[in-house]
Amino acid sequence: MSDPSPPNGATAATLVAFRRRLERRYGERLRGLVLFGSRAGGDFHAESDAGVAVFLDPVLDPIEAQMDMAGDAYAVFLETGILVEPWAFGGSPTQPARDRALDLLHAVRTEGVPL
């Protein structure tokens, strides 16, 4: 993963709110979050979403987990005006399961900002 500065301002507030919701939903199953995409690279605009890889252990059905997180993402959007686009992965940011969306996982690992 890259080592740029962590997000600040509205992006940081959005990610804190999203993380709190996920901690309530998943508890100890939540292994980490990684911001990726334009908000991680600093080349975003006001309407850019915040791509977030969410690592759960275990994740039984990643699509179902993403659907569950969509409600949390929408609630945070209503609070902050920034839409979080969550992607569920198994494992942890440092040892992800390599069982889905390998191109996306590669981008997360090479360009992402751990949160």
Whether 1 is covered by a domain: the verdict is: no
Strand partners, 88: 54
How many CB atoms sit inside 10 A of residue 108's CB? 26
For the chain, what is the domain count?
1
CA distance 115 to 10: 15
Residue 11 has a pLDDT of 86
Can you give the pTM of this predicted structure? 0.86
List the domain range (segments joined by +) for residue 59. Answer: 9-114
Model confidence at 67, pLDDT cuts 50, 70, 90, reads very high
What percent of the chain lies above the pLDDT cut of 90? Answer: 53
Whether 65 is covered by a domain: the verdict is: yes
Whether 4 is covered by a domain: the verdict is: no
- How do 50-56 and 84-90 pair as beta strands? parallel
